[in-house]
Amino acid sequence: MKGSYVLIVLIPKDSNIKIGKKFEYNFKKGYYAYVGSALNGLEQRIHRHLRSNKKYHWHIDYLLAYGYITDVFYRENDIREECDIASVFSSNLPWIKGFGCSDCKCESHLFYGSRDKILSIVEKLDMKRFLL
């Protein structure tokens, strides 16, 4: 299966987190939506994000060490849609500049907001829930 996904991540307390070698950011307690894609193994990518024991590779790996995934949504597609999905989130929620978008021209692929607001955006995007 190929496609894009949204991870809803809860950071349970304010945390100053170093993300790779590039930046450090003070993440507020609360919910974040991370937008990604996997055009070679969507299910495997999601399962990797759900694992706690892994080598850090992507920005999201560093964030997940301080929080946990509460929900996962996805949409199957053969084309890369993550920037289009991120654009919808960026029109509705504050973002963390430079997070998860080192291979595109987006401002961010990580967004902060209430769980209800994030879920309403996901619903508008017509994404399916991935069963955890």
Please answer whether residues 6 and 122 qualify as being in contact, where contact means their C-beta atoms are separated by less than 8 angstroms.
yes
Give the integer Cα–Cα distance in Å for 95 and 32: 9
Write down the domain spans for the chain.
Answer: 3-129
Residue among 127, 88, 124 at smallest CA distance from 7: 127
pTM for this one? 0.96
Pairing of strands 23-27, 30-38: unpaired
Q: How far is CA 84 from the centre of its chain?
A: 14
Per-residue pLDDT of the chain (132 residues; tens, 9 = 90+): 999 999 999 999 999 999 988 789 999 999 999 999 999 999 999 999 999 899 998 999 999 999 999 999 999 999 999 999 999 999 999 999 999 998 899 999 999 999 999 999 999 999 999 998
Rounded CA separation 13/27 (Å) = 8
Owner of token pair 């999905």: 85
Residue 25: other Cβ atoms inside 10 A = 19
